[in-house]
Amino acid sequence: MERTQRLIVALTLLAVVSVAGIVIYMKITAKETLRISTTTSLYDTGLLESIRNQYETKFSTDLQIVSRGTGLAIKLAQDGDADMILVHAPSKELLFLKQGYGVCRKIIAYNFFAIVGPETDPAGVMELTTLEALTKIAEAGRDGRSMWVSRGDESGTHAKEKELWKAAGFDWEDLKGETDWYVEASKGMGGTLILASERSAYTLTDMGTYLSHKTAGLVALEVLIDQGEELLNVYSAIAVNKTRHPHTNFEGAINFIEFLISDEGQQIIGNYGRDKYNEPLFYPSVKLLEENNDPVANSIREYAFFNGTECPVEYRGGHSELYG
């Protein structure tokens, strides 16, 4: 009987040790999770997949990426359903910081928007300025000669479009009512481009998504306007404020931001697309802003800086080392 009891005790201890060992192993091998809410223009081009491959290889982190228009991407973070955001709408980003949802904003990349449309160019906008082109497109639309497809989804691209229509002298709310020629897609950038192509319409797009869809044969649209400071498109990374949402992976977000602005991260951004499209889809911004000897740097500062900085001191979340 005594021998049986000793055997039971030994087996029990072995079971306890085994379970403890499994728990310890799981803790050691478990990957950290980082939830990233991002805009469709970054995701649809494949850039984030390329970054994910490099990052997950280097760090024991599982990047969970959700793609939405900028407005919805920010809403996910406001609700605590993301640890950080990657977006391209400075006015919305500033509000995100001011409302206490975000900290540690870093500008990571830029490219340019473009007005694309059918090769026949029914409104005759080729070689015009952006604002002149929008005026011509509206006139041709009202005459039944052209169409415009808007994102219509409160994304960064949609915000830029509304800014441009306003600068051209149009009330965006009035344009929404002119449904014969002004169509709201309520889709991501890829879906908007495909709809515009199907309808032989004009639209505003970021160049990254356009090039990826054009090269894949998904759209039959041509770049008609791609010059002008007003078409600048700037991408930023922002961590969710841990004081607002304590459950979020704040340190993981900071680590990822540090990777994006490192030489390695910036090189991935700058090289992405060169082999396939003969030009990069995005341009790295960190050294450009540090050196500040390129006109584009000044344009970024004017368009995407807040009070002379990419992130005012009060929104740096204790990580002033990110800002030199």
CATH classification of the domain holding 245: 3.40.190.10
Identify whether residues 62 and 80 lie together within a single domain.
yes
Measured CA angle at 293 (ends 290, 294), to 5 deg: 105
Are 96 and 178 a contacting pair, CB within 8 Å? no
Q: What is the C-alpha to C-alpha distance for residues 160 and 89, in angstroms, rounded to an integer?
A: 8
pLDDT level of residue 277 (50, 70, 90 thresholds): confident
pLDDT at 8: 54
pLDDT at 26: 36
| pLDDT mean over 269-288 | 93
Q: Is residue 26 part of a domain?
A: no
Closest by Cα among 272, 237, 286 to 257: 237
Q: Is residue 3 part of a domain?
A: no
Domain end call among 231, 259, 287: 231
pLDDT at 228: 85
Q: How many domains does the chain have?
A: 2
Identify whether residues 171 and 318 lie together within a single domain.
no
Q: What is the C-alpha to C-alpha distance for residues 95 and 108, in angstroms, rounded to an integer?
A: 19
pLDDT at 44: 84
Are 261 and 322 a contacting pair, CB within 8 Å? yes
pLDDT at 7: 53
pLDDT level of residue 23 (50, 70, 90 thresholds): very low
Identify whether residues 129 and 182 lie together within a single domain.
yes
Identify whether residues 167 and 225 lie together within a single domain.
yes
Q: What is the C-alpha to C-alpha distance for residues 87 and 89, in angstroms, rounded to an integer?
A: 6
pLDDT level of residue 107 (50, 70, 90 thresholds): very high
pLDDT at 6: 58
Domain end call among 203, 231, 259: 231
pLDDT at 276: 87
Q: Which residue has the higher pLDDT, 42 or 297?
A: 297
Query: Does residue 97 have a pLDDT over 70?
Result: yes
Identify whether residues 43 and 72 lie together within a single domain.
yes
Q: Are strands 61-68 and 102-117 parallel, antiparallel or unpaired?
A: unpaired
pLDDT level of residue 3 (50, 70, 90 thresholds): low
Q: What is the C-alpha to C-alpha distance for residues 31 and 198, in angstroms, rounded to an integer?
A: 44
Encoded tokens for 305: 């800086």
Residue with tokens 């169509």: 183
Domain end call among 231, 246, 269: 231
| pLDDT mean over 23-49 | 77
Residue with tokens 């310890």: 24
For 296, other C-beta atoms within 10 Å of its C-beta total 15
Identify whether residues 225 and 239 lie together within a single domain.
no
Q: What is the C-alpha to C-alpha distance for residues 165 and 137, in angstroms, rounded to an integer?
A: 11
Identify whether residues 159 and 135 lie together within a single domain.
yes
Closest by Cα among 88, 110, 100, 109 to 38: 88
Q: Is residue 169 part of a domain?
A: yes
Identify whether residues 41 and 97 lie together within a single domain.
yes
pLDDT at 69: 86
Average pLDDT, the chain: 90
Are 41 and 236 a contacting pair, CB within 8 Å? no
Query: Does residue 24 have a pLDDT over 70?
Result: no
Encoded tokens for 241: 């404020």
- Residues 139-177 have pLDDT tens digits of 999 999 999 999 998 888 999 999 999 999 999 899 999
Identify whether residues 189 and 99 lie together within a single domain.
no
Q: Is residue 13 part of a domain?
A: no
Q: Is residue 23 part of a domain?
A: no
Identify whether residues 52 and 134 lie together within a single domain.
no
* Domain around 173: 112-231
Q: What is the C-alpha to C-alpha distance for residues 185 and 188, in angstroms, rounded to an integer?
A: 8
Q: What is the C-alpha to C-alpha distance for residues 190 and 219, in angstroms, rounded to an integer?
A: 9
Q: Is residue 203 part of a domain?
A: yes
Identify whether residues 176 and 305 lie together within a single domain.
no
- Residues 284-310 have pLDDT tens digits of 999 999 999 999 999 999 999 999 999
